[in-house]
Each structure stands twice: as C-alpha cells, then as structure tokens.
Amino acid sequence: MDSFSEDRPVPIIDPGLCDGCGLCVLACPSHALALEHGKAVVARPNACQYDGYCEMICPVQAISRPFLIITIPQE
C-alpha cells in the first residue's frame, strides 16, 4: 500500500515483518486496518486518523508512519 492516500499519509506495513497477530487492527480507533491473508493492511486509508496506536502496539515493529518535513522559506 502506498504511504499516502489522497494527499494524506497512511501507515506503512511491512508484510515481511507482520506476523498477523491483529493487535494493530484491534488498537485502531478508526477501523482503518484489517487482516487480509494473515497480514495487516490499511484497508480503509481515508478513515486513518494517523494517531500511531498501530505503530506503538505492533510487537514486531512492522508498522511505521512516514512524516513529511515542510520547510518555510525565510523572509
């Protein structure tokens, strides 16, 4: 899954690390995550509130949240 959906960031889930425990799915307050074929996926990217609970609870650190650094030009 792409890390941005309609100009909104979404968590990146590494399927090679994900063990399918489902803790992230349970922790997600917006129900944006789901298990598909034994792996966590961002099933509803537009519902994602990007709060980080999924990243914090993942026991194998398969989830990361990219951040966009914005610089403001000096006047």
- Domain containing residue 57: CATH number: 3.30.70.20
Report the alpha-carbon distance of residue 63 to residue 54 in Å, rounded.
7
pLDDT value at residue 44: 96
- pLDDT tens for each residue of 39-49: 999 999 999 99
* pTM (two decimals): 0.79
The number of distinct structural domains making up the chain is 1
Q: Which two tokens stand for residue 54?
A: 């999924």
- The domain in which residue 18 lies consists of 4-62
Report the alpha-carbon distance of residue 41 to residue 12 in Å, rounded.
9
Residue 40 has phi, psi (to 5 degrees) of -75, 140
Q: Which two tokens stand for residue 25?
A: 């799915």
- pLDDT tens for each residue of 8-26: 789 999 999 999 999 999 9
